[in-house]
Amino acid sequence: MKIPEYFGCMVFDDREMKLRLPVEAYERMRKTIEDGRSLDISLANIVAEAMKDWAVERGATHFTHWFQPMTGVTAEKHDAFINPTSDGGVLLEFSGKELVSGESDASSFPSGGLRATFEARGYTAWDPTSYAFIKEKTLCIPTAFCSYGGEALDKKTPLLRSMEALNRQTMRVLKLFGNEDVTSTKACVGPEQEYFLIDRAMFEKRCDLIYTGRTLFGAKPPKRQELSDHYYGIIKPRVAAYMEEVDRELWKLGVSAKTEHNEAAPAQHELAPIFTKTNIACDHNQLTMEVMQRVAKKHGMICLLHEKPFANVSGSGKHNNWSIQTNTGVNLFKPGDTPAENAQFLLFLCAVIQAVDDYADLLRLSVASPSNDHRLGSHEAPPAVVSIFLGTELEEILDAIEKDVPYNAQAQEPLRLGVHTLPKLPRDNTDRNRTSPFAFTGNKFEFRMLGSSDSIACTNIMLNTAVAESLRLYADELEAAEDFDTALHALIRRTVSEHKRIIFSGNGYDEAWVKEATEVRGLPNYPSTPDCVPELTAEKNLALFAQHKIYTPVEAASRRDVILDNYCKVIHIEALTMIDMVRRDILPAISRFSGKLAESGRVKHEFCAIANIDYEFDTVAKLSELAYSIMQQTDLLDKTLEELGGEKDIIALAHAYRARVFAAMEKLRTFVDEAETLTDTADWPYPTYGDLMFSVK
């Protein structure tokens, strides 16, 4: 079957609705999707019946409300379509009520205190803007998830709120520029997904990978990515077969998987989709991660989504390519051909610059996790200091506007909006800066800080909301202006002057930049998750959320506590895994190998008077010293975990896990990794880094 014939075959999309719904019902459904109108029960019943018939024809036996709780993964509870009849048989039924809403146990999901065990009721509500799909013989209905009291318990609800906030403020600004044909706008995202593939047999021999998704111990192999021979290299047959099946399964689900290649590190790869509406992109990315992991097992491999599964090797990110599109097909970050179009482009560009400067803390915390802390600031990820890269030409244009001077040597007059046309800016008018957290790449912004395992929801909530606030301020000012062109020029000029500190085109990895950013420019620097997440409930951020109806103070506090609680639990599990590995496997292995060496040295000395036994006895001495250090450090780590058991303040606890537990784990690792380099491979209890990263042929 050809790709166009089966693409989206497992999705109840517009094609299926048009085919299966009565004309009137279809038109009402389109209005619901496009205009956000409410769905009445009569229409819901018609849609539910058609959706059930379509799903059953494709082998579905159950349905589920598919939602995204604050766990970072998806959740689902399956119900069969069957209902008993009086004669002992069954009918296949699916009502509008079952389609539109469902009920779930809200207390069993992370809620940051919003729900207690005795307050268990939660509700799921259909998001009709994201099409239903069939997965593993189950009809999956994308939904939002909220508590009995109406508080958002998921990632999708605030994402939808942020999209509406951005649309509302964008429309105000567009009307000022005379865009009467535009009726709506949407934020669009294309998230690039990086991942590792390792052999399943090797994975199953590493309990740290099984429990935590990353290697807690592992000495450097002789070869890593120094030769850059893996990046964009020939895809191995086993990996190519895997990618082919991933593409096929994603295409059936309507996910536009587009680009795939080898990434920088051995065993690392990337998959990138075509841009789509943000909430749909979020759904699709969750599906992508699930499909990649499921298909990998069929091919005898494991797909690792952890940001840093291997120390001293490039980690995995998820570059969030973001833009705003009008319903007429105009990309608002693409320069135009007329002065008015260019002025509009510059205003939206300034809105992003101001948003990133004003709310850098929110963008930083939107990517915060214990796994991403390993990656940020390394040589495959941007630093924890947020900045914007625009490229030379745009920087020069903004500089000319700010200084009220000609843009280039040939110009005779200052560059004034509404009078002058900007130079032609081709699509790729900027270079790529891989060290920049937030880079303008021609007609979109690429936010590179997001981690590979994380949902894209939080990042886009913060980005949408921050830009909506900039646009709100601009609309308020320009709507009240007597002379629009004069006010517009003054506004852009002032914005550039006040927020240019966030623009940086140099090397983000340079330590001098971090010093300049914090000490000279006054930009915030949050090195770790405990440093930035408390900012979620800072006064200015709560005011932002309230202004655009994204989070109530209670909802914001709950998310702060969920993230920090997860941070502590992840590190706690990693520490316990380390302790278990050391005591049950690593120390016995060192002792076993040391005993063999000691016996070998004794025999050589006994039977050969001139035998040189320096290797045996020196190695035994080194291993003995390392084993003692490992034992002591393990006991210290164990004791530290016990001491933190009584801490109740989640912020203080997170800082303690970072300062004490994580630090103790890192020190323990140095001893163990050195011991690995001295121990016979046959005696070492786990596959090495070389085994793991070069196991897939």
What stretch(es) of the chain map to CATH 1.20.120.1560?
A: 565-693
Sequence-ordered alpha helix ranges (H) in 224-309: 237-252, 278-298
Q: Which of 264-273, 430-439, 450-459, 641-650 bottoms out in mean pLDDT, i.e. has the lowest?
A: 430-439
Indicate whether 631 pLDDT > 50: yes
Which pairing describes strands 268-273 and 193-199: parallel, antiparallel, or unpaired?
antiparallel
Average pLDDT, the chain: 91
pLDDT for position 393: 84
Partners of residue 124 on adjacent β-strands = 102, 145
What stretch(es) of the chain map to CATH 3.10.20.70?
A: 3-154
pLDDT tens per residue, range 499-531: 999 999 888 888 889 899 999 999 999 999 999
* Burial category of 334 from C-beta neighbours within 10 Å (exposed 0-12, middle 13-18, buried 19 and up): middle
User: What's the Cα-to-Cα distance from 233 to each of 24, 261, 494, rounded to whole Å?
Assistant: 53, 8, 47
Place of tokens 């991933």: 246
What stretch(es) of the chain map to CATH 3.30.590.10?
A: 193-316
Indicate whether 389 pLDDT > 90: yes
- Identity of the residue numbered 12: F
- C-alpha distance across the termini of the chain, in Å: 29
CATH for 565-693 is 1.20.120.1560
Separation between Cα atoms, residue 654 and residue 81, nearest integer Å: 45
Give which of 388, 664, 399, 621 is closest to 502, Cα–Cα.
388
Task: Quickly name the fold that domain 3-154 has.
Answer: Ubiquitin-like (UB roll) (3.10.20)
Indicate whether 419 pLDDT > 60: no
Place of tokens 């059930």: 52
Q: Which residues contact 316 (CB under 8 A, 6 or more apart)?
A: 194, 195, 196, 263, 268, 304, 305, 306, 307, 308, 309, 375, 451, 452, 453
Question: Would you say 128 and 39 are in contact if contact means Cβ atoms under 8 Å apart?
Answer: yes
Q: Which residues contact 232 (CB under 8 A, 6 or more apart)?
A: 261, 262
CATH class for the region spanning 193-316: alpha beta
pLDDT for position 341: 75
User: What's the Cα-to-Cα distance from 252 to each of 145, 448, 504, rounded to whole Å?
Assistant: 26, 29, 42
pLDDT tens per residue, range 76-107: 999 999 988 778 787 889 999 999 988 876 66
Indicate whether 650 pLDDT > 90: yes
* Interval 12-28 mean pLDDT: 95
Helix (H, G, I), strand (E, B) or coil at 133: strand
pTM (two decimals):
0.93
Give which of 430, 427, 402 is closest to 416, Cα–Cα.
402
